[in-house]
Amino acid sequence: MGLINEIKSLLKKYKWSDPGLNTLAYKEFKNYFKNPNPDSFQLSKEKWRFHEHSYARRQITWFKKIPKINIIDITQKDYDKVIVDLVTNWIYPK
């Protein structure tokens, strides 16, 4: 609901045609604000989740092409220790 309140606040100052509201998370809720009902809200939420997931996948693909990049899975146990080790080895190489 924080996003909905944020969009309401932005719409007091901006229009849907402004570039900032044509970005991920905002644009998916345009139809909901034009026709507010539970079905349009649910559809907007689903579109947002799909687009957010697609964007994250594109980012991962892009980062994998960069040599010497470390991708850390924060869902793994002890991920913070992996980060500390990487940073320590970067600052104080062996």
pLDDT at 71: 87
Mean predicted confidence (pLDDT) in 27-53: 94
User: Quick one: pLDDT at residue 81?
Assistant: 96
Average pLDDT in the chain: 94
On the question of pLDDT at 1 being above 80, the answer is: no
Domains and CATH numbers, the chain: 2-67 (1.10.287)
Long-range contacts of 86-90 (CB under 8 A, 24+ apart): none
Note the pTM of the prediction, 2 decimals.
0.68
Burial class (CB in 10 A: 0-12, 13-18, 19+), 16: middle
Confidence (pLDDT) at 90: 92
- The pLDDT value given to residue 79: 96
